[in-house]
Homo-oligomer: A and B are copies of this chain.
Amino acid sequence: MAVTIKDIAKQAGVSPATVSRVLSGQVAFYSEKTAKKVKKTAKKLGYQKNTAAVELVTRRSKVIAVIVSSTKTNFSDQIIDGIQQEAGEHDLNVIILYAGEKDPQMERKALETVIERSVMGILLVAVNLNSVNENLLVNANIPYQFLSITLKNRKLPFITSDDFQIGYQATKYLIDKGHSKIGFAAADLDSVTGQLRLDGYHQAMADNGLQLNSAWVCGGDFAYEDGVNAMKQYGREPEVTAVIASSDLAAIGVMNQAQDYGLKIPADLAVMSVDGTKLCSIVRPQLTSVTQEFFEMGVRGMQQIISQPTKAAKSAFTPFKIIARQSV
């Protein structure tokens, strides 16, 4: 049905081999004249290459798969932008698959699809695999890289911010502003990411001789609702004078709930968020944030994939900075 390389060959009076070499831009295998002829008839016939056939014979693919998990947070767009840019420069195609929220079933399916297609590389943003899926990925013999997540298994390569430092610096920033009773909200305390931020928070408090109060830390899942719930926990007359929320949306949740309680921000309560997406400057008051370099994460992730298998993938931190806006 569809027009193949053979059709072109017949029309142009050459062999399929020549057509293939012309169309895939190999040099020094044909004359300029036949090249022109081949290209013309290819265009005339409306030829589209059959990628399945190409990948079957070459046993490699030019697509990078990005598996993204979370839609509860909203930074993945930036990461994907970074990936796209870097991919574009190397003539790679990127496809994105959603793997649900902590849904091992969907994660498995996403993994299988990309492995069966033997993509060139797999980028996993904010997804935490269980051990069977982890095995699936590792045994697939395809370069991979985790993004925006810290894993228990330090053998796996990931690129993210230094979560301990995020917790530490955010806390220190608030302490420097005169706060001593600081809440820590909405992080997933079962995740390494959340745990590290909490450790940083603890350390910063300790380093400054400040008391801790377990009621000040409220776990969650980085979602808006978790911010709301945390604030409800703190109550109408909160003991804390500042809170660090582990995502922009969560921070908005605590702000909204605080305002519903009649609290003024930042006068009555300072709020600081982690992520620093565009949301921070869209809400009022604008959110002071620990701003991560998500775009950069994407870029570096791609670079790791591309440089393989020359070098094995390594974990790395991307920098972050604190951007002062209005909420502190």
Contact = CB atoms under 8 A, between A and B. Distances in A.
A52 B282 contact: no
A54 B200 CA distance: 51
Kindly list the 9 A-B residue pairs having the minimum CB-CB distance in the complex, ordered from nearest. A52-B55, A96-B96, A95-B95, A52-B56, A51-B116, A52-B52, A93-B113, A51-B117, A53-B56
Nearest to A65: B95
Interface stretch (A42-50, A180-188, A209-217): A42-50
Nearest to A109: B93
Contacts of A115: 48
Given A52-B52, A259-B284, A77 B84 contact: no
A256 interface: yes
A30 interface: no
Contact of A116 (B49, B116, B256, B284): B49
Contacts of A52: 51-53, 55-56, 61, 117-118
Among A51, A53, A80, A283, the one with the most B-chain Cβ atoms within 10 Å of its Cβ is A51
Given A56-B56, A224-B282, A140 B48 contact: yes
Interface in A170-214: none
B56 A50 contact: yes
A261 interface: no
Contacts of A80: 98
A116 B50 CA distance: 5
A97 B98 contact: no
Among A52, A81, A139, A140, the one with the most B-chain Cβ atoms within 10 Å of its Cβ is A52
Interface string A48-74: 111111011000010100000001000
B97 A139 contact: no
A270 to B, nearest CB: 18
Contacts of A259: 284
Interface string A99-117: 0000000000100110111
A46 B140 CA distance: 9
A319 B138 CA distance: 46
B282 A284 contact: no
Contacts of A94: 97-98
Nearest to A224: B282
Contacts of A140: 48
Contacts of A96: 95-98
Contacts of A117: 51-52
Contacts of A283: 282-283
A166 interface: no
